Amino acid sequence: MIVNEGLVRIRGEILNVVEDVAIGTGGSGTTSDMNELENEIIRKTSDDVEGQAIGESLHRIRLTSGEANNETLRECGVIDQDGNLISRNVHAPLEKNETFEVVYEISIEIKNME
């Protein structure tokens, strides 16, 4: 069983690894050998959100009313400090325009670490 200090260190490693969140328009399924989004349109530095439980990290980006307009957003990815895709998610299509902002929050949780 990993004790709390071990979990804190692991959580710290996750927080240190995540650099950016990328957003794209690709809609195909995710495969384990992917190294980039299907069709990346914007990449932003992640804001790390403090106060998460041990073994969790939360990363947030905001697309302003002037970003990614007239695009159908379908995918997001977590990018490490070396530019590698470490996680990808495909979501329901969102038609982005200048009348609103979009906030992506990506939670990474480590479970069953006994």
Model pLDDT for residues 51-82, shown as the tens digit of each residue: 556 667 788 999 999 999 999 999 999 888 77
pLDDT of residue 109: 74
- The answer as to whether 114 is a domain residue is no
Cβ 87 vs Cβ 78: under 8 Å:
yes
- The answer as to whether 39 is a domain residue is yes
- The answer as to whether 13 is a domain residue is yes
Domain region containing 38: 4-109
Total domains in the fold of the chain: 1
pLDDT of residue 2: 47
The whole-model pTM stands at 0.80
Task: Please check the confidence at residue 43 and state whether its pLDDT lies above 90.
Answer: yes
Task: Please check the confidence at residue 13 and state whether its pLDDT lies above 50.
Answer: yes
